[in-house]
A = this chain, B = another copy of it.
């Protein structure tokens, strides 16, 4: 590279996809948006930048270290590091203009200056939904969330996943029964790690927090309660009557479980798991995690839960809610690395028109008619050899080439070639349009993620 040129590089830890990958990512965003919209969620879009005092009203030390914070003139500014704090601000700020329950989804970029590593990004998309009530919010919403998680992953093409649910009141109640009420936050944080650390380390960590051997045993015994979900609920009932919070948790979990059945979520896709704690201290009821059965090492791909008070740092209004978040950039990165994301119709167009005459009027005219029928159409305008023109379609994954030469102009027909099958036909335009639309529609019905028939092995 000659001097005076700047190296065109991207910041490390910032995802920037090639066109074909971007098409896949875009498709995933679209599928999620469609599912959220089917359930009546508003799209929402809050600023990338907020006042630091607003964004950091609650934040703890860990967040502080990771954030992008700077001054512009006298203004202390922070880039949003999640979509929950901006939502809290939004709901508190616009309380009088919102209708509750307020359901919103937001798929947006957030920034965290973490140490960059494989599959971890400093700028990444989160896909969040939340349902916010005014003072109260029916527990059935917690069941609906499971149905939404199921539909999101199912419509993306995943089948082999499990939504695991629990209720924080049960764990809180248990810790109270064990006289651990002054250590709830610490114990919860350790329980949250149960799948990632050994049993010995688990006990060691608890004991470091002054949990006695007997208390450890009780916790371990409890979170290891086995059986299907019904059996777990029955087991839980045997602990009832000793602690009000515990009993309330068991009741809520039972209701959520009852309604999930009505939502028609297949039984193999969800289960009660008493070890699910979620580290974050603002969850107060139902909690969710979602894992790939074949790839537990990935960890949870969709997590969330119920909280009592969304916006307590901004308002005295009590705003309970329930929500989930998908770390979209990381999920995409992992699935794509594993070759689980298909190349389904990921050309920038459905049809490439290849004009074979100098005058392009006929080609331009046909392109307008195809687009009017919703067919994504590009004309190859450049003055190259036919070989290069077809190569353009092949290299960009465009399925159909439409050849327009003197013969086609005279007969007012088109020659359409399916570049996948090699089939080539000269047809009336209307017939060609039907042929193309049928093929494109059938491809569009295929799902973007395909774990069963993936092209390569990991």
Contact = CB atoms under 8 A, between A and B. Distances in A.
Interface string A318-350: 000000000000000000000000000000110
A73 B49 CA distance: 19
Given A72-B68, A99-B392, A39 B377 contact: yes
What 4 A-B pairs are tightest by C-beta distance, nearest first?
Answer: A40-B378, A70-B70, A40-B349, A8-B314
Interface string A345-364: 00011001000000011001
A45 B70 contact: no
A442 interface: no
A375 B39 CA distance: 9
A193 interface: no
A263 B98 contact: no
14 contacts: A1-B316, A8-B90, A9-B51, A11-B77, A14-B49, A23-B42, A38-B374, A38-B375, A39-B377, A42-B348, A133-B382, A147-B368, A259-B364, A262-B365
A361 to B, nearest CB: 5
A294 interface: no
A199 to B, nearest CB: 39
Tallying the copies of this chain within the complex gives 2
Nearest to A353: B40
Contact of A19 (B42, B92, B383): B42
Interface string A111-122: 101000000000
A47 B101 CA distance: 34
Contacts of A420: none
Contacts of A378: 39-40, 103
Interface string A1-28: 1100111111100111111001101100
Nearest to A258: B361
A43 interface: yes
A5 B376 CA distance: 52
Contacts of A396: 99
A385 to B, nearest CB: 14
Contacts of A113: 72-73
A19 to B, nearest CB: 4
Contact of A22 (B44, B49, B381): B44
Contacts of A136: 382
Interface stretch (A137-145, A181-189, A226-234, A299-307): A137-145
B40 A381 contact: no
B90 A16 contact: yes
A50 interface: yes
A242 interface: no
B43 A22 contact: yes
A453 interface: no
A46 B7 CA distance: 16
A164 B44 CA distance: 35
Given A22-B43, A123-B48, A140 B381 contact: yes
A168 interface: no
Q: Which of A9, A38, A99, A377 is packed against the most chain B CB atoms within 10 Å?
A: A38
A23 B44 CA distance: 8
Contact of A57 (B6, B46, B51, B75): B6
A41 B379 CA distance: 11
A376 to B, nearest CB: 5
Contact of A348 (B14, B75, B103, B137): B103
A133 to B, nearest CB: 7
Contact of A264 (B19, B44, B98, B368): B368
Contacts of A45: 16-17, 22, 25-26
Nearest to A97: B18
A370 B288 CA distance: 26
A446 to B, nearest CB: 18
A361 B255 CA distance: 12
